[in-house]
Structure formats: structure tokens, C-alpha cells
A and B are shown apart, each in its own frame.
Chain A
Amino acid sequence: MQVQLSHPARTVEVKGPKRAKELLRELNLVVEAHLVIKGADLVTEDEMLYDSDQIEIRPVISGG
């Protein structure tokens, strides 16, 4: 699946199927600091993601 990341903006290819929390773990990202968006929809950490999915992992932390 195509996974879009930020800071810096880049796209990586990850083999599916796998759950959103497994994807975050594989990319070494903390759940509390990220949202997983499938297409245009927000999904929970137990959502199954497939190779055909367009995924965005959006960081939520800002400088404050």
C-alpha cells in the first residue's frame, strides 16, 4: 500500500494486509502522536489495511 508521511513529506510502500496499529509500529510511530487516514476517512488502530488502500499517516503534534 502507498503510505503518505509528513515532516518531511514523503511516500513509502508497505506490504499489506495489516492493521493500522501494526503499520504504525512497523514505521516506529507512536499511536498517540498520529492519525491514520484511509482515503479521506479516519480509521481506528484495529482497521485492516490492504495493498490497494491509499493511506496517510498524519502527525498531530505542533510546536505550541
Chain B
Amino acid sequence: MNCTKCKTKAVIGLPRHNAAFCKGCFNGFVHDQVARAIKSEKMCGKEDRILVAVSGGKDSLALWDILLKLGYRADALYVNLGIGPYSEQSHAKVTKFFEAVAAPHGARLHLHTVEQEAGAGIKELAQLIHRPTCSTCGTIKRYQFNHVAIEQHYDVMATGHNLDDEAARLLGNVLHWQEEYLDKQGPALPASVEGFAKKVKPLYRLSERELAAYAVLNRIDYIVEECPMAKGSKVLLYKEVLNRLETESPGTKQMFYWGFLEKQSKKQPTATSMTEKDRAVLHPCTSCSQPTTAEVCSYCKMMARAKTVAPR
């Protein structure tokens, strides 16, 4: 198989684009897709300060790498969840990437350690407060990400959600007719109220396989092991089903998610309506001032409960 562009030996075939690329042309393709996503969704400009949420996985490290190479001012936040050897290994991968690639670009790495603040790792914390581990993890990561973005005056926060993540989430929401979540499935969410930073997903045009290939080709050392807490998750099942469909019928995932985005954009001016909706229901948490629908936000409630029951 030869590269569609330069006719040298290809390293990856992309059936959904009816193309194959060598390393150099594939890197160009990936960078173009991210640049296109940023431009079409008005995610950020070259002067903006971006905070990337990194986990040590392929998507977030690839995103940090691509943004820096495209000339963006991108720092990162790593949240150490305290999941034994898995967190130790992922933390080491982030540190290694930061020192070898990001620091030479002048980027900074912020660190939050769950155990330091909550007195326990994510698994123990979830047990203490009787909540599922993945939902506890989501609450903590969303909160800390927004907290650092606001406190350190970042213009925008970026996550490594890719086409597969978004298509799987959409499938889950549609299967359960959770229409209230559909408005927030866009690749760029505005800073709707004071205390919320703008949130973007610059990788939504790239599949998980393309991002893993980018990481391998560019020698980005990422954590291949699955999070031990994610075993049996519904998201993994939805991804598996979508990948079977994609293999039989290339382009299925992008038709599903991009088609949804196109319909949403015709339906209503999303940014305005979302901002209006958020302003109507959100107000500052009485404990930490981050926006919440309740008197005290779920993060503060969680931490208060953990501090009451946790053995110190």
C-alpha cells in the first residue's frame, strides 16, 4: 500500500477517507484535521492560553504535542487519581513527555493529587461516599480542571476526546433518549457563566486508531493499559459495536457524530441557547464559588463527606 499523496510506502490505511499515508503525510493529515476543528468551531486563537487535561494516555498526550507543534500556547494539568501502579505509571509517562517535548516549547505542567486533598485515592474515596468510581473520578477531574483554568486565567481548556469518544457518548445518549445531554455534546462549549472556562475538544475529527498511530509514529510513550476501573464500562461496549460497524462500513462513526453536529447547528444557535439555559439555573457554590445548580456543588459535598468519614 502506497501513500495517497507522495506515493512512497504507507504506514497506515484510512478506509474512511479512502486514503493511505506515509509518516510525514499522516502527520500533516492529523495536524490539518486539528487545525480545521479549531478554526471551524472557533475554539481558540494563537494568542490564547490553553490548558490541556492530560492523563498519560495517547489522546491527551497527542493533543498536547499537536497544539505545541501548531504553535499554540498550551500548558497541561495532570490529576493523579491514586489508582495504585496505574496512576504511578501514567504520572511517569506525563512527566517524561513534559520534560522531553513540552518543556522545550516553554510549556508548564500543573499537578493535582487526589490523595493529598481527599485523604484517599479515587477507589477508596468512591467507596467511602458510596458512589461509582467512574462518576467520582469524573466529578473530581471536571472540577479540578475548571478550578485551575479559572485560577490561573487560562482562556480555554482542551480535552483529548476523539471521534470514537463522542460517537460512543452520542450512541449512549440516543439509546437512552437522554435528550437533555445532547446540547452539551458539541466540540466547543462556551464559558456560559462566570466561573466556567470555555471547553473545547480539538480531536473530534480524528479516530482513536488514528491518534494511537500518531503516538506510535511520533514515539510518544503513553500508557497502553486500560484504567482498571473502566473494566465492563458501557462506553467500551458502545465503542466495540461502533468499530465493528466501521470495519464493515467505513465512515460510519463520522457520519453518525458529524451528522448529529450538522443537525444541531441547523436546529438552533447552540452557544446562545446554552448560555441562556446555564445562566438561568447556575449560581456560585456557597463553599467554593464554582457554578452549580445546588447550594453546595457536588465536589464540595463529596469532599465534605470524605473528610467526615475518612480515617486520617
A interface residues, Cβ below 8 angstroms from B: 6-7, 30-35, 37, 41-47, 58-64
Contacts and interface: CB of A to CB of B under 8 A. Distances in A.
A33 B216 contact: no
Most buried by B among A34, A59, A60, A64: A64
A60 B10 CA distance: 19
B20 A7 contact: no
Interface of B: 1, 10-13, 20, 57-59, 134, 161, 164-165, 168-169, 207-209, 211-213, 216-217, 224-227, 229-230, 233, 235-236, 239-240, 243-244, 246-247
B12 A44 contact: yes
A30 B243 contact: yes
Given A33-B243, A41-B11, A44-B11, A63 B212 contact: no
A27 B269 CA distance: 47
A43 B208 contact: no
A37 B212 CA distance: 11
B10 A63 contact: no
Contact of B11 (A30, A42, A58): A42
Contacts of B213: 35, 42
B216 A35 contact: yes
Given A42-B217, A44-B10, A46-B1, A62 B57 contact: yes
Most buried by B among A30, A37, A47: A30
Nearest to B10: A44
B222 to A, nearest CB: 10
B209 A33 contact: yes
A30 B1 contact: no
A40 to B, nearest CB: 9
5 closest A-B pairs (Cβ-Cβ)? Answer: A63-B230, A60-B212, A32-B243, A64-B165, A44-B1
A32 B12 contact: no
Contacts of B209: 32-35, 60
Nearest to A24: B247
A46 to B, nearest CB: 5
B194 to A, nearest CB: 29
B224 A33 contact: no
Contact of A37 (B20, B216, B233, B235): B216
A41 B10 CA distance: 11
Given A42-B12, A44-B13, A61-B239, A31 B227 contact: no
B121 to A, nearest CB: 17
A63 B236 contact: yes
Contact of B244 (A30, A43, A64): A30
Contacts of B10: 44
A35 B225 CA distance: 15
